[in-house]
Amino acid sequence: MNVVVLTILTLGILGTVAALVLYFVAQKFKVFEDPRIDQVEEVLPAANCGGCGFPGCRAFAEAMVKSDDISSLNCPVGGAETMSAAAGILGKEVAAADPMIAVVRCNGTCDNRPKTNHYDGATSCAVAASLYGGDTGCSNGCLGCGDCVEACTFDAIYMDDKTGLPVVKDNCVACGACVDACPKDIIELRKAGPKGRRIFVSCINVAKGGVAKKACKTACIGCKKCQKECPFDAITVENNLAYIDYTKCKLCRKCVAVCPTNAIHEINFPPKKVKPAVAPATPVKPVTSDNNPSSDNKNKEE
């Protein structure tokens, strides 16, 4: 009987003392954490991609709460919606940042850019780039090992089997992981534009025109035709390479038409209307006359 009471007493006292110690320690080392950090973190996409420049969404939420001016902060994944929601929680103003998207500035497909040698080393662009210039005559172009695809955590980029080049899908959130992963600096973040429309020079070859053209059919040869055509002074040509400033570009597409090597690309535009009304009339006829045999052929092929 005595033993039972003694045990209860001892353990009870021990427990109380420990609880007291724990209580005071907890008071002493209490860390005040702004509850708004949790709230902001809640509205962030939780992708932890690092696209904002901070290590993860939590760090970004902390930065948002701590800094007075949040105009320089932007979550590219969540976009304007998330940013205004987060700013609402904090009662701060946020300027709507333009949505960005990654573009691949190389069009050196197997057809456009003939192979000059065969690479059989490790399947990694970083390794290949540290060894040599590439398996074609263009030492600036895409190596095609897919480091960008590996880096993407949003499944927004894939390698096209036919062209051997990466293709950015419209769900790209512009986190910049592929930009960092590309050893050739081919991928660039550009303004996505209305309806995801964008125009860019799909080449980064800085060799002289003749050399670039020899290596790749659709290389930018630095002819400056687009520069002369652009009504908004958005195009500069440096080191035999044209660059379109997306802050000035109004997406008029005039440069696309004049480029002799088709190096300027337009994405998500509707097919161009054919300007003269007479022009489509002539080709229509042969199409109609050939209609039957061509459909026959198609059936045979199928």
Partner 1 sequence: MLKTFSLGGIHPPENKFSAGKKIEALPVPSQVAIPVSQHIGAPAKPIVKKGDAVKVGTLIAESAGFVSANIHSPVSGTVFKVDDIVDASGYRKPAIIINVDGDEWEENIDRSTELKKDITATPEEIVKAVANAGIVGLGGATFPSHVKLSVPPGKTCEVLILNAVECEPYLTADHQLMMEKGEEIMVGTQIIMKALKVDKAVIGIENNKPDAIKHMESLASSYPEITIEPLKVQYPQGGEKQLIDACIKRQIPSGKLPIEVGAVVQNVGTTLAVYEAVQKNKPLFERVVTITGKSVSKPSNFLTRIGTPLNNLIDAAGGLPEDTGKVIGGGPMMGKALVSTDIPITKGSSGVLIMPNEEAKRKPMQNCIKCSKCITVCPMGLEPYLLMTVSDKQVWDRAEEENIMDCIECGSCSYTCPSSRPLLDYIRLGKGKVGQIMRSRTK
Summarize as ranges the residues that interact with partner 1 (CB under 8 A): 116-117, 120-122, 124, 126-127, 130-135, 139, 207, 211
At residue 241, φ and ψ (nearest 5 deg) are -140, 130
Closest distance of CB 153 from partner 1, Å: 15
Residue 181: CB minimum distance to partner 1, A = 9
Q: How far is the CB of 247 from partner 1 (least distance, A)?
A: 30
For 87, other C-beta atoms within 10 Å of its C-beta total: 19
**Which is nearer to partner 1, 73 or 215 (by Cβ)?**
215
| Cβ distance to partner 1 smaller for residue 43 or 145 | 145
Question: 274 burial class (0-12, 13-18, 19+ CB within 10 angstroms)?
Answer: exposed
For residue 72, the minimal CB distance to partner 1 (Å) is 24
The Cα 7–Cα 3 span in angstroms is 6
The residue among 120 and 302 lying less far from partner 1, judged by its C-beta, is 120
H-state helical runs in 202-249: 209-215, 225-229
Least separation in angstroms between CB 152 and partner 1: 16
Nearer to partner 1 among residue 24 and residue 132 (C-beta): 132
Q: Give backbone dihedrals phi and psi of 222, rounded to 5 degrees, phi first.
A: 65, 35
Number of neighbours of residue 168 by Cβ within 10 angstroms: 20
C-beta of 126 vs 237, nearer to partner 1: 126
